Structure 1
Amino acid sequence: MCDTAAKATGWRGWMKLDERPVGPALGPWIDLSHPLTEHMPTVSIFPAPRFWRLKQIPADPLNVTMMEMAVHSGTHVDAPRHFFADGPAFHEVPLDRLHGPGAVLNLEKEPDSVISAEDLANAKIRVEPGDIVVIHTGWWRYAGTPQYDRHPCLSVEAAQWLVEKRAKLLACDFATPDLPVHRRSPGFDWPVHHVLLGSGVLVSEHVTNHAELADRRAEFMFLALNISESDGAPARVLARRLS
């Protein structure tokens, strides 16, 4: 795929984050995750997910569903182990890194565009230390179409801005905050992931259904499966409005 040996180690650890009060909720919980199906969004380098019945009524006395999928398919969370051999795997991610208050930045973008540090800084809602930062570009609406593969991405400077702001998790409504697959040159090395995960900023991809939270603060729960030694995990992502 590409030479990542130089960055296989060197995880910089979890940044210290102060405990943040959440505040009163102003709305019900909203599901920001794609259902797990064979048609859920995933990148082309992964095999298609499969779901089938191992046991099925009436031939059997019960129904039992089997599934086969990459842990980075559909709505999921990346652990630092995704790009750092010495980074924590998913069972080592502290629970407080997966929930808390945050901001939904409304950043409508054109196909193949780049989200800059200036875009983040000039968003209507301000990012505060310890925030979960969820980006709304509206790209989730294209899931299941060829347009979904031409998603926006973050610049390296934007990733560094999030680290400097001490964000604890970045979530996006497209496949990856790095360049989409069709724009990658030989030797591509996922620089945005390296900046974020290397500093302990978790990454969640393929979130959806958060338009009503755009330009607002919200409380989030990234309910990812606790998979031992895994570099990521499928997640049920919930949010409710705070402002």
Structure 2
Amino acid sequence: MTYYDLSHSIRSGMPVFPGDPPVDITPTATVEDDGYHVAALHCGSHTGTHIDAPSHVFRDGSELDSIAVDEFVFDARLVDCTGKSPREPIEAAELPTEDGTADLLLCHTGWDEYWGTDRYFDHPYLTPGAAEHCREAGWSVGLDTLNPDPTPTENATGSEPTGFQAHHTLLGNGLFVIENLTGLERVPAANSTVTLAAFPLPIADADGAPVRAVAIDSDVPGDGDPF
């Protein structure tokens, strides 16, 4: 059994969605001065690798702490969405057909290569049709991008979907969105599915929360460090 950590480390100054709180980690006690080390963490609920709750986009949507913890373990299927240009859509025709073996689609765009740069915000995105395709198949979605919808930047075009259509389609139908994954190229693509665990921090009334996203492949011997 092999484990693949698919999470970005939370660091001061890391990328956040435009307008979200900046991330700041500041020591408040040190071993040298106090005999122990403590840091103050300031961040938004959608910091780094995180999962969205329905309440993220729906006034009466469920919060994460009301959802059973086993709902955050998925049978995940990897889909190759690499080779995209900035702000290029992922169409429904590029996604697999429903096969009954997965409940989450991992969209590997390779865009985590641009983490920490302005280019990261001009990521590929799901078209409304692609999001609807996932809804019909019963797939939650995980991506190595900031957003399943287009993120507003000065490079946005008039032909792009507006608002949060993919969020509404997925979160409004009992499905999840996991954003800012990394290292999806290490997940074995030959297998039909792998287990993905993405447990959110137990924040009360959370509309989203950081996760430690880990893919677990029971068919690969654990003879090396996958992290």
Q: Deviations over 1:166-191 (max 9, x none)?
A: 11x21100100001212277x94311
Residue 222 of structure 2 aligns with which residue? none
Residue 126 of structure 2 aligns with which residue? 154
2:108 is the counterpart of 1:136: yes
- Among 93, 99, 116, which residue is 2:73 paired with? 99
**1:85-124, aligned counterparts within 5 Å?**
85-108=59-82, 109-121=84-96
2:175 is the counterpart of 1:204: no
Does structure 2 conserve the Cα–Cα contact (< 8 Å) formed by 1:134 and 1:170?
Answer: yes
CA distance in 2, matches of 1:85, 1:239: 32
Does structure 2 conserve the Cα–Cα contact (< 8 Å) formed by 1:56 and 1:64?
Answer: yes
Does structure 1 conserve the Cα–Cα contact (< 8 Å) formed by 2:50 and 2:179?
Answer: yes
AA at the equivalent of 1:157: G
Residue 55 of structure 2 aligns with which residue? 81
RMSD of aligned residue pairs (Cα, Å): 1.9
CA distance in 2, matches of 1:130, 1:201: 13
2:197 is the counterpart of 1:229: no
Q: How many residues align?
A: 212
Q: Which runs of 5+ in 2 are unaligned?
A: 220-227
Does structure 2 conserve the Cα–Cα contact (< 8 Å) formed by 1:129 and 1:165?
Answer: no
Does structure 1 conserve the Cα–Cα contact (< 8 Å) formed by 2:53 and 2:64?
Answer: yes
Displacement over 4 Å in runs of 4+: none
Does structure 1 conserve the Cα–Cα contact (< 8 Å) formed by 2:4 and 2:186?
Answer: no
- Among 35, 38, 62, which residue is 1:64 paired with? 38
Q: Which runs of 5+ in 1 are unaligned?
A: 1-26
AA at the equivalent of 1:211: E
Residue 150 of structure 2 aligns with which residue? 179
2:165 is the counterpart of 1:165: no
Deviation at 1:211, TM superposition (A): 0.2
Are residues 140 and 63 of structure 1, via their aligned partners in 2, closer, same or farther at CA, if it must alter by over 3 Å?
A: same
Deviation at 1:65, TM superposition (A): 1.2
Residue 167 of structure 2 aligns with which residue? 193
Deviation at 1:61, TM superposition (A): 2.1
Identity, % of aligned positions? 29
2:215 is the counterpart of 1:239: yes
Are residues 127 and 210 of structure 1, via their aligned partners in 2, closer, same or farther at CA, if it must alter by over 3 Å?
A: farther
Are residues 81 and 184 of structure 1, via their aligned partners in 2, closer, same or farther at CA, if it must alter by over 3 Å?
A: farther
CA distance in 2, matches of 1:133, 1:223: 17
Q: Deviations over 1:105-163 (max 9, x none)?
A: 111121110001111137xxx65365121110100111011211110000011111111
Q: Deviations over 1:61-86 (max 9, x none)?
A: 21111100011121000000001111
